[in-house]
């Protein structure tokens, strides 16, 4: 924290604080907002530990945390044993991968459940800072939208905005860039243990052993199977199977018009608040994508307790799915700022630093567009302008995965990933990186 003193010789400290604050301001950007929910399987041996691990993990820092405190878990226990064509979750277990039909059923069931419990409305209420204990004293405000969208109070004043074309454009821009990029990620996590693998290995080896003994009329095969089974039992692996279902808050001009015309109020207004609370149709979530992650070869180098092992593997599995969902569904892509332009000893540009790495799926084959956010002074609308294309520098990719430092992984102690320019113009701190091509860029 910077503190300015009246002594003249400390003026340098004060100026350094100002410059530091300006640099931080330059790196502010609009993230997508994300709420995360777990499908909980209490019947599983590791179910409680997966729940604890999930509940302790923060929303990835490239997204704004939009979690709803009392909606973090969907308990699957009351639909255990659900049969095909009935409502409920089809569960991935060892030896049973979910079929496309089962995946579609799970996605639809989750969408229906989220909308039945009006999660979309809760997300909107959170965006607009709904406070108050009753309909008579409840109000909305735009402080969170100002903060995340980098608007000043007059830009986003609803009463003023509704009277001007520019004001309406600013509200529309905020809706598209902020509310329209609000997501709920439902993670269904099951697991494979060494014991499960060992049981299958034993069964397979026993069958092979019995077949071998029948042919050779000996018990050599059974002996081999017994030894192999003991080896399989000694393995202490734990691998998770993570199905992630992504949902997006529906927000467009028609929905915004309903909210601002009939529901929004920054002063107590029981009629408007009652209309908001009783509206069952306007604020909804739509299913947009599914991703599945299961790494059969996952090995952790560090020494972990059972709890920390589960937490680390769950965190990395969900991170992989988030990266894959961003590639699959463009609006979910991570945007991150250029942190620093790097120079060599001669003052020549040597690269560009950004605070992303292996956690966000960066590898030597990755390519990123550098884009600049431009706000039209007449309309207040935001557009993105293409600046350059960059790629990670070999050997300079930050390993920022969960607990990578504990494992002493290569690249874990780097402060950022270094990129080099492939083509394009001048790159400055605060410009944004987006992996691949971003369709919202205006050339």
User: Residue 257, Cβ neighbours under 10 Å: how many?
Assistant: 11
Among 45-59, 220-234, 275-289, the minimum mean pLDDT is found in 220-234
Quote the CA–CA distance of 373 and 386 in Å, as a whole number: 9
Is the pLDDT reported for residue 19 higher than 90? no
More confident residue, 43 or 395: 395
More confident residue, 260 or 304: 260
Is the pLDDT reported for residue 30 higher than 90? no
Q: What is the dihedral of CA 321, 323, 324, 325, to 10 degrees?
A: 80
Is the pLDDT reported for residue 15 higher than 80? no
Q: Is residue 224 helix, strand or coil? A: helix
Mean pLDDT of the residues in the chain: 82
Mean pLDDT of 121-131: 96
Is the pLDDT reported for residue 227 higher than 90? no
Q: Is residue 426 helix, strand or coil? A: coil
User: Residue 443, Cβ neighbours under 10 Å: how many?
Assistant: 4
Is the pLDDT reported for residue 378 higher than 90? no
pLDDT digits (tens, 9 = 90+) for 147-165: 998 888 888 999 888 888 8
Q: What is the pLDDT of residue 167?
A: 86
Q: What is the pLDDT of residue 186?
A: 97
Angle CA 264–269–273, to nearest 5: 55
pLDDT digits (tens, 9 = 90+) for 39-96: 998 888 888 889 999 999 999 989 999 999 888 998 876 554 444 445 568 888 877 7
Angle CA 443–363–28, to nearest 5: 55
Q: What is the pLDDT of residue 85?
A: 47
Is the pLDDT reported for residue 104 higher than 90? yes
Mean pLDDT of 170-190: 93
| Residue 87 dihedral angles phi and psi, to the nearest 5° | -70, 145
Is the pLDDT reported for residue 320 higher than 80? yes
């Amino acid at each position: 924290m910077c503190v300015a003193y009246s002594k003249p010789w400390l003026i340098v400290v004060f100026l350094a604080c100002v410059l530091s604050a300006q640099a931080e301001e330059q790196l502010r950007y609009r993230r997508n907002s994300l709420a995360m929910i777990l499908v909980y399987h209490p019947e599983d041996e590791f179910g409680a530990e997966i729940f604890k691990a999930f509940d302790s993990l923060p929303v990835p820092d490239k997204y704004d945390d939009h979690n709803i405190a009392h909606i973090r878990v969907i308990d699957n226990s009351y639909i255990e044993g659900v049969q095909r064509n009935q409502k409920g979750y089809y569960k991935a277990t060892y030896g049973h991968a979910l079929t496309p039909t089962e995946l579609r059923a799970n996605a639809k069931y989750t969408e229906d459940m989220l909308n039945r419990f009006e999660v979309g409305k809760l997300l909107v209420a959170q965006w607009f800072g709904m406070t108050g204990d009753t309909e008579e004293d409840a109000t909305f405000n735009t402080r969170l939208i100002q903060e995340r969208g980098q608007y000043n109070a007059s830009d986003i004043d609803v009463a003023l905005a509704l009277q001007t074309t520019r004001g309406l454009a600013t509200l529309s821009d905020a809706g598209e860039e902020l509310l329209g990029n609000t997501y709920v990620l439902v993670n269904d996590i099951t697991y494979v243990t060494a014991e499960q693998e060992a049981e299958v290995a034993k069964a397979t080896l026993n069958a092979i052993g019995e077949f071998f003994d029948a042919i050779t009329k000996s018990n050599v095969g059974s002996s081999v199977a017994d030894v192999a089974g003991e080896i399989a039992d000694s393995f202490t692996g734990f691998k998770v199977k993570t199905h992630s279902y992504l949902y997006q808050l529906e927000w467009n001009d028609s929905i915004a018009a309903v909210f601002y015309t009939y529901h929004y109020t920054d002063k107590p207004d029981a009629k408007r608040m009652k209309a908001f609370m009783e509206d069952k149709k306007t604020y909804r979530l739509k299913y947009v994508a599914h991703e599945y992650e299961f790494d059969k070869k996952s090995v952790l180098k560090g020494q972990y307790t059972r709890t920390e092992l589960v937490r680390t593997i769950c965190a990395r599995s969900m991170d992989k799915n988030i990266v894959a969902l961003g590639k699959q569904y463009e609006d979910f892509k991570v945007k991150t700022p250029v942190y620093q332009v790097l120079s060599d000893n001669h003052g020549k540009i040597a690269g560009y630093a950004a605070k992303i790495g292996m956690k966000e799926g960066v590898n030597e084959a990755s390519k990123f567009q550098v884009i600049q956010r431009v706000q039209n002074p007449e309309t207040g609308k935001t557009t993105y302008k293409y600046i350059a294309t960059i790629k990670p520098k070999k050997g300079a990719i930050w390993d920022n995965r969960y607990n990578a430092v504990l494992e002493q992984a290569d690249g874990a102690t780097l402060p950022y990933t270094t990129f080099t320019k492939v083509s394009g113009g001048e790159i400055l701190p605060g410009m944004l990186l987006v992996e691949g091509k971003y369709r919202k860029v205006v050339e």
